[in-house]
Structures are given as structure tokens and as C-alpha cells.
């Protein structure tokens, strides 16, 4: 079992206080957006044996287990994060596995450098995600029904939004959502900026259900993504609740602290709320134009105290243990690799005592007992 030393990424949207508060450290005044735990080559966790990439490459079957290597190859297939949003992240979708492979191979054939700003597919993998709230956590997830979106837009009283309201009422669900999103993202930029400014002022004046969009517009003035965001469900997670973001589901994180786990990929198609490249045709090919609720997940408890966040993904499995003081230890030995993360209290994992924000990597099959008085998240895979 290896204690992990993890990198904090200073993305501009990150909170300046949430991760330091969790870790019990002083804020630096700079944003601290994500703490990465895993073997992503961009910022692999460090151990006493070298980076986690080095450790796994030296003996993949010993570290990951034969079944995981046979299923996913000689790499850790997930990345675990603590995510702290102080401002809205970009509105985005992720491809499914077939789309990712097709897009990656196409861009490779065309000789687009992997680090090019207009490249869509950095790798050939999909990027399903799960975010579990540690504090109240605001986000956008999936499309509202066309009628709900039309009512929200119409409620602003902005004349230039009337054509979108009419489209949402006139077309069947999929066509209505597709046509309006396409129209928003392809509109004249200056005209759309004026519409966004007028809509933002109305959101600020009206408050209530409109308030989240006023805040988004404050961070991204004039961005067409502000109107696109109003097509989506706004959701506020309470601590312990989660969202699963599957392929093609438009989403954005707005504010809060959470534990995030994802398949190891960098493939993102952006819809707005970003200065980065937005490839509208490719985006429209990937988005699933289906209305529905955000699908808030609550963990399912097992008899041994493990609370599992069920998802249809094999690359990761996230669960947690809320350990009361004086309770018996739990045997977490498993034939697959694990990362254990403490988020509250004090937890002992093997010989390591973990406080909030501290984590360990557990090789496949290594005997693992945990105890203490706190909350422990467990990340592994399904084989």
C-alpha cells in the first residue's frame, strides 16, 4: 500500500479556499481547482517507489491484477479527483467509446497535433464521469423538456429569444433541442452577445430560478453558452448525492466541492462558457438530444457498511464508508487496484493514518483493513 502525494491543478475556475480548508492548509490566494489521484500522465500521483505510472509500468499484473490488465490493459483505467469549483466550468459533452476511437483515428490521419488548440480527441477513450458532493454542489446536467426550456426563456421577456421559444414549442423534442442549440451556437456573435447581455440583466432582476444563469453570465459575459445553459436542468446536490455524466449528456459544474471519478481520458467537446475551441458540427454529432431529469444518485448501502454509487461503467466503481468511532474494522481486500481517500475525520488504512485529503494506492489482492472515525471513499474497477 502506497501513500500518495498528489498534484493540485490551478485552473482559473478553481476555488481559492475549498481545497485548503479540506486539507487544513493556508490558502495561497491562487485558485486550487482539482487534486488528481491516479496514474494520468499529465500529473501522476507520487509514491515512495516513484510515480504511480512508474510503479504500474514496472509490474502491471502485480499492481493491477491479472483480470484488470486483461480487461483494460496495463494501466489504471480511472482518475480520482477532489474538485473545487469557484466559478462555472465550460459547458461540455463527452463522446462514447466508438465515437472517441473514430474521432481520434480521423484526427491522427489528418496529422493534427495532439496539443493543437483545435484538436477534439486527445486519445481513443471515452470519458464517463461521476461527481459526488462533499458540500452543496451546483451543476447543469441534461436537457430540460422543450416546454420547460421555452417557459424559462420566455420568462425573460427578451424579444430576440422569441424565435427560440417558438422553435421549442413547434418541433418534436429531439428536433426542437437540436435546432435551438444549433441556432444559439451559430448565431452572429455580436447579435448573440447583445441577447446574452439583455438576458443576463433580466436573470439578475428576476432571481429565483434565473439566478444561476445570472451568475454564469457574470463569469462569461456575452458568451452564447449562457443561453445554451438555460436549455439544461439546474441541479443542487446535497453532501453525499452524486451525478453520473454519461456519453453525449451536456453538463457543467457551477460551484462546490466534490469527489470526482472518471475514465482516464481527456476527450471534451465544448458547447460554450470557455475561451477554448468550440467545434459546433462535431459537438452536434456527439450530443444526445434527449430531455430528462438530472438523475441524482444516492448511494446504495450494503450489509458491511459500504455505500456504492451504482453506474453502468466498468472502468470505475466509487463507494464510501462512513465510519463511526469504535466500530469494527472493515476488510477491503479486493482482486483489483484501489485508491482510498479520506474526506472527513481520521481513518486508518493498513499502516497509514489518513486525514482529510490524504489517500493511498492499494495494489490488487493486498490485504487491506480500514477503521477509524471518519469518511473514506473507495475507487476501484469492475472486472
Report, as residue numbers or ranges, the catalytic residues. 270
- Distance between the two ends of the chain, CA-based, in angstroms? 21
Three-state SS for 141? strand
DSSP secondary structure string for all residues of 210-267: GHHHHHHHHHSTT-THHHHHTTEEEEEEPTT-EEEE-TT--EEEEEEEEEEEEES---
C-alpha cell at 288: 444526445
| Residue given cell 448511494 in the structure block | 299
Yes or no: say if 220 and 226 are a contact pair by the CB < 8 Å rule.
yes
Q: What is the three-class DSSP state of 211?
A: helix
Q: How many CB atoms lie within 10 A of CB 218?
A: 14
**The cell 459575459 sits on which residue?**
221
Rg (CA), the chain: 22
| Residue corresponding to grid cell 454564469 | 216
- From the CB of residue 369, how many other CB atoms can be counted at a distance below 10 Å? 13
Amino acid at each position: 500500500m502506497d501513500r500518495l502525494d498528489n498534484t493540485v491543478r490551478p485552473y482559473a475556475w478553481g476555488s481559492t479556499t475549498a481545497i485548503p480548508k479540506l486539507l487544513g492548509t493556508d490558502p495561497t490566494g491562487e485558485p486550487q481547482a482539482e487534486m488528481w489521484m491516479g496514474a494520468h500522465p499529465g500529473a501522476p500521483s507520487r509514491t515512495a517507489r516513484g510515480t504511480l505510472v512508474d510503479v504500474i509500468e514496472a509490474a502491471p499484473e502485480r499492481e493491477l491484477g491479472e483480470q484488470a490488465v486483461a480487461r483494460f490493459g496495463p494501466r489504471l483505467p480511472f482518475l480520482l479527483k477532489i474538485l473545487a469549483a469557484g466559478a462555472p466550468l465550460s459547458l461540455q459533452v463527452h463522446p462514447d467509446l466508438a465515437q472517441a476511437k473514430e474521432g481520434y483515428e480521423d484526427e491522427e490521419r489528418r496529422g493534427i497535433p495532439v496539443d493543437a488548440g483545435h484538436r477534439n480527441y486527445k486519445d481513443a477513450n471515452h470519458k464517463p464521469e461521476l461527481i459526488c458532493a462533499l458540500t452543496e454542489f451546483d451543476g447543469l446536467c441534461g436537457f430540460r423538456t422543450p416546454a420547460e426550456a421555452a417557459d424559462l426563456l420566455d420568462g425573460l421577456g427578451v424579444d430576440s429569444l422569441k424565435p427560440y421559444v417558438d422553435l421549442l414549442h413547434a418541433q418534436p423534442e429531439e428536433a426542437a433541442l437540436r435546432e435551438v442549440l444549433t441556432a444559439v451556437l451559430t448565431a452572429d456573435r455580436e447579435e448573440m452577445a447583445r441577447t446574452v447581455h439583455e438576458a443576463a440583466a433580466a436573470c439578475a432582476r428576476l432571481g429565483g430560478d434565473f439566478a444561476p444563469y445570472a451568475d454564469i453570465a457574470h463569469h462569461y459575459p456575452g458568451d452564447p453558452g449562457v443561453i445554451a445553459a438555460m436549455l439544461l436542468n439546474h441541479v443542487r446536490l446535497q453532501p453525499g448525492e452524486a451525478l453520473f455524466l454519461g456519453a453525449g449528456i451536456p453538463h457543467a459544474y457551477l460551484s462546490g466541492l466534490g469527489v470526482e471519478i472518471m475514465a482516464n481520458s481527456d476527450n471534451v467537446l465544448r458547447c460554450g462558457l470557455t475561451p477554448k475551441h468550440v467545434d459546433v458540427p462535431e459537438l452536434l454529432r456527439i450530443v444526445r438530444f434527449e430531455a430528462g431529469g438530472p438523475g441524482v444518485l444516492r448511494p446504495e448501502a450494503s450489509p458491511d457498511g459500504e455505500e456504492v454509487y451504482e453506474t453502468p461503467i466498468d472502468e470505475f466503481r466509487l463507494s464510501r464508508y462512513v465510519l463511526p468511532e469504535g466500530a469494527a474494522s472493515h476488510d477491503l481486500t479486493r482482486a483489483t487496484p484501489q485508491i482510498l481517500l479520506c474526506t472527513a475525520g481520521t481513518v486508518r488504512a493498513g499502516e497509514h493514518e489518513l486525514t482529510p485529503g490524504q489517500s493511498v494506492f492499494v495494489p490488487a489482492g493486498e490485504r487491506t483493513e480500514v477503521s477509524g472515525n471518519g469518511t473514506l471513499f473507495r475507487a476501484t474497477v469492475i472486472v
